[in-house]
Chains A and B, each alone.
Chain A
Amino acid sequence: MSNDAIQYFAAKFSEEKNKSGALAGFSEKAMSDFQKLGLPAIRHEEWKYARVSNLFRKDLQYVTAGTGISSADLEPFRLPASGQATELVFINGVFNKELSAIRHQPEELVVMSLEEAASGNYADFIKANLGHSAAYHPDGIHALNAAFAGSGLFIVAKKGKVIEQPVYIYNLADSRPGFIFAQPRTLVHVEAAAQLQIAEQYITIGGNESFTNEVFEVVAEKDSIVDYYKIQNEGPLANHVGTTHIRQVGKCLTNAVTITLSGAMVRNNLNMIMESEHGESHMYGLYLLDGKTLADNHTIVDNVMPHCYSNELYKGIMDGESSGVFNGKIFVRKDAQKTNAYQSNKNVLLSDKASANTKPQLEIFADDVKCSHGCTIGRLDDEALFYLRSRGISEKNAKSLLLHAFAVDILDNIKLEPLRKHVDSMISERLEFNF
């Protein structure tokens, strides 16, 4: 239905066009890219496992108008210690200011819609930075998000502010009317020496399928620290394609942790663009899958400048008929001498029908670098299981002890303690770990 999809979204685009104001040029360019590129086909190497074009069925609905979600509907999904956090809400991909609660002072954190930002003081910044990720994702699905960027969100962490309380973003899809499509879009500017922690959570309300196509861009300035957490536990009917694109435009520290616990088809792109010398980035991921879930993590570390350090560890546990995919690209450009880049992906398969596909992809054009990568796919270690059982621990408990230990390695990197405990309890519940 690729042609039908193009027509469907072209019609939606012209309906909304008069609203796009300051972002009109950006959106129109993206719409024309979408029409040219179409939807990524399965034969496209980057989309071999995440069969995204199959999702653009005739019953897919792109509804951005008000859906009657209230704050009471949101209540059960709020992240821990949310009372002190700034909570920002997207409903069907549209930033909803009424349901959001901005609890930070404007001297430290600025929040507004992208549209508003593009027509005011931030116009130049938006113009220069919105859509930087497109160069890394020259595909129709990425362009489709950009075409509707006007309903997105803009966040600024102000210069020198150490922002202790996190920013929580709830991406809610209201699938009560049917198979719903949502396109959240966010641009974050972390100014010099600011520190910001962001957690994104995804929610589908209603018993139908949902499909979220998200682009989240971060520009991190000199001496800033950014922690980004992505928590996916929406249930087996939720599909997701999301790109998190983090640029280090000055020497800074950026960390990302991606946790995927359920979904139908989930595709996460995570990019760390090392544009300044001596930058440091960490990328951690855990996918704990069962049923027929497919989770496909594609990561890019682009070392543009020399002396950068990056470390990456992704771990997967697959049960049932689930499948985990990892693709890790590390680019070291010609001038990026003295790059240190490490990558590791470890998978445990718990059933005969589960699968894991892992592919490190290193493209190195500098000659004085340290890069390493490794990947494993295996079962639980029999000897470790026997060791635990020989001490009287049941096979079931021994397995959950080992799996929890395998997973906890990733969770330790969630520095926001209430969030770490929350994720740990979700994982413990899944693994029936209760020690």
Chain B
Amino acid sequence: MLHIKNLHANIEEKEILKGINLDIKAGEVHAIMGPNGSGKSTLASVLAGRSNFEVTDGSVEFMGKDLLEMSPEERAREGMFLAFQYPVEIPGVSTTNFIKTAVNEARKHRGLDPLDAVSFLKLMKERMKLVEIDQSLLSRSLNEGFSGGEKKRNEIFQMAMLEPKLAILDETDSGLDIDALRIVANGVNKSRNKDNAFLLVTHYQRLLDYIVPDFVHVLYNGRIVKSGTKELALELEERGYDFIKNELELAAQD
């Protein structure tokens, strides 16, 4: 589904990603972990098409197409979804209208007719249950005045509505209390199937107690330095990121 080869990216001349290689297949859940400043969020942003990053080398193929050639909206219509670390508040744009527009853009892309009001409401009601989000929240302006937890739930709700092939969750767990974390994780778990994939970007292991990954990668200094299964996350939790740094230094000395 996603093939990242030797991906390099800069922000304002500073190289943040220094050669990322990663393959994600349908049905898999991958977690990217790493200390602050390792490039985790940059990777998520580059994949979603944020314009302030410049890709200097490498390639990314998504569903058989060159991802880097696509605008952010094309990526979304092809089935990529980024749950933002800091969802944007947009006063004056109604959440419901926004989601309806987004859903219908995706349908148009697939050659489907727009959903009529009844089917849209039916779908919305069903997916609202998934993330235990309240109707009153959706009749408000997009994220305006939402608490941190409400914003994250709204991200997962949008994901559930858009049914992406690949969902990237950028530190969705940060700032969530345990109840909100459980709700968010539950939303993700119920959305999992053999045709879609997830990339969880996180600093902490605790999210992975609720969403169990197939693979865990450690990102450090712009590169994936270690990959493993969910046990790797537990090891990181126990020993901290320093053990990775030490291993790398030892390797460098050899």
Judging by beta carbons under 8 Å apart, are B77 and A392 in contact? yes
Judging by beta carbons under 8 Å apart, are A392 and B90 in contact? no
Judging by beta carbons under 8 Å apart, are B93 and A390 in contact? no
Taking a contact as CB atoms closer than 8 A, the residue among A382, A392, A406 that contacts B105 in the complex is A392
Q: Let me know if A123 is at the binding interface, CB within 8 A.
A: no
Taking a contact as CB atoms closer than 8 A, the residue among B50, B52, B91, B105 that contacts A409 in the complex is B91
Report how far A402 CA is from B92 CA in the complex, Å. Answer: 8
Taking a contact as CB atoms closer than 8 A, the residue among A383, A384, A390, A408 that contacts B48 in the complex is A390
For B, the interface residue count at a CB cutoff of 8 angstroms equals 32
Residues of A within 8 A of B48 (CB): 390
Return A315 CB to nearest CB of chain B, in Å: 11
Q: Let me know if B109 is at the binding interface, CB within 8 A.
A: yes
Taking a contact as CB atoms closer than 8 A, the residue among A381, A390, A405 that contacts B92 in the complex is A405
Residues of A within 8 A of B229 (CB): none
Give the interface segment out of B14-22, B96-104, B117-125, B238-246.
Answer: B96-104
Report how far A282 CA is from B87 CA in the complex, Å. Answer: 33
Return B192 CB to nearest CB of chain A, in Å: 21
Report how far A318 CA is from B98 CA in the complex, Å. Answer: 25
Q: A405-B93, A435-B101 are in contact. Are A389 and B88 (CB under 8 A)?
A: no
Give the interface segment out of A73-81, A111-119, A208-216, A393-401.
Answer: A393-401
Report how far A382 CA is from B88 CA in the complex, Å. Answer: 10
Judging by beta carbons under 8 Å apart, are B92 and A386 in contact? no
Report how far A395 CA is from B109 CA in the complex, Å. Answer: 15
Taking a contact as CB atoms closer than 8 A, the residue among B73, B87, B91, B141 that contacts A394 in the complex is B73
Residues of A within 8 A of B100 (CB): 435
Taking a contact as CB atoms closer than 8 A, the residue among A389, A402, A405, A409 that contacts B71 in the complex is A389
Q: A391-B98, A401-B98 are in contact. Are A408 and B92 (CB under 8 A)?
A: yes
Q: Let me know if B35 is at the binding interface, CB within 8 A.
A: no
Residues of B within 8 A of A401 (CB): 93, 98, 101
Judging by beta carbons under 8 Å apart, are A390 and B90 in contact? no
Judging by beta carbons under 8 Å apart, are B90 and A402 in contact? yes
Taking a contact as CB atoms closer than 8 A, the residue among B50, B84, B101 that contacts A393 in the complex is B101
Residues of A within 8 A of B224 (CB): none
Q: Let me know if B131 is at the binding interface, CB within 8 A.
A: no
Taking a contact as CB atoms closer than 8 A, the residue among A397, A405, A435 that contacts B90 in the complex is A405
Report how far A302 CA is from B81 CA in the complex, Å. Answer: 53
Residue of A nearest to B90 (CB): A384
For A, the interface residue count at a CB cutoff of 8 angstroms equals 24
Judging by beta carbons under 8 Å apart, are A393 and B92 in contact? no
Taking a contact as CB atoms closer than 8 A, the residue among A386, A387, A389, A391 that contacts B162 in the complex is A391
Judging by beta carbons under 8 Å apart, are B76 and A389 in contact? yes
Report how far A387 CA is from B151 CA in the complex, Å. Answer: 13
Residues of A within 8 A of B84 (CB): 387, 390
Q: Let me know if A388 is at the binding interface, CB within 8 A.
A: yes
Q: Let me know if A404 is at the binding interface, CB within 8 A.
A: yes
Q: Let me know if B222 is at the binding interface, CB within 8 A.
A: no
Residue of B nearest to A397 (CB): B101
Report how far A409 CA is from B93 CA in the complex, Å. Answer: 10
Judging by beta carbons under 8 Å apart, are A386 and B101 in contact? no
Q: Let me know if B149 is at the binding interface, CB within 8 A.
A: no
Q: Let me know if B58 is at the binding interface, CB within 8 A.
A: no
Return A405 CB to nearest CB of chain B, in Å: 3
Judging by beta carbons under 8 Å apart, are B73 and A409 in contact? no
Q: Let me know if B106 is at the binding interface, CB within 8 A.
A: yes
Q: Let me know if B72 is at the binding interface, CB within 8 A.
A: yes
Judging by beta carbons under 8 Å apart, are B93 and A392 in contact? no
Residue of B nearest to A412 (CB): B92
Report how far A409 CA is from B75 CA in the complex, Å. Answer: 31
Judging by beta carbons under 8 Å apart, are B90 and A387 in contact? yes
Return B164 CB to nearest CB of chain A, in Å: 10
B217-242 contact mask (Cβ, 8 Å, vs A): 1 or 0:
00000000000000000000000000
Q: A383-B88, A405-B91, A435-B101 are in contact. Are A392 and B162 (CB under 8 A)?
A: yes
Judging by beta carbons under 8 Å apart, are B93 and A391 in contact? no
Residues of A within 8 A of B73 (CB): 389-395, 398
Q: Let me know if B51 is at the binding interface, CB within 8 A.
A: yes
Report how far A382 CA is from B158 CA in the complex, Å. Answer: 20
Report how far A347 CA is from B159 CA in the complex, Å. Answer: 33
Taking a contact as CB atoms closer than 8 A, the residue among B72, B91, B97, B102 that contacts A386 in the complex is B72
Report how far A390 CA is from B90 CA in the complex, Å. Answer: 14
Q: Let me know if B9 is at the binding interface, CB within 8 A.
A: no
Judging by beta carbons under 8 Å apart, are B102 and A409 in contact? no
Q: Let me know if B187 is at the binding interface, CB within 8 A.
A: no
Judging by beta carbons under 8 Å apart, are B102 and A392 in contact? yes
Q: Let me know if B213 is at the binding interface, CB within 8 A.
A: no
Residues of A within 8 A of B29 (CB): none
Judging by beta carbons under 8 Å apart, are B97 and A435 in contact? yes
Report how far A393 CA is from B101 CA in the complex, Å. Answer: 7
- Please name the 5 residue pairs, one residue from A and one from B, whose CB atoms are nearest each other, closest first: A405-B92, A392-B76, A391-B102, A389-B72, A387-B88
Question: What are 8 sample pairs from A and B whose C-beta atoms fall under 8 A apart?
Answer: A382-B51, A386-B50, A387-B87, A387-B90, A389-B76, A393-B105, A409-B91, A435-B100
Question: Beyond A389-B76, A435-B101: 16 further Cβ-contacts under 8 Å?
Answer: A382-B52, A384-B90, A387-B84, A388-B93, A389-B71, A389-B73, A390-B49, A390-B73, A391-B99, A392-B106, A392-B162, A393-B73, A402-B90, A405-B91, A406-B92, A435-B100
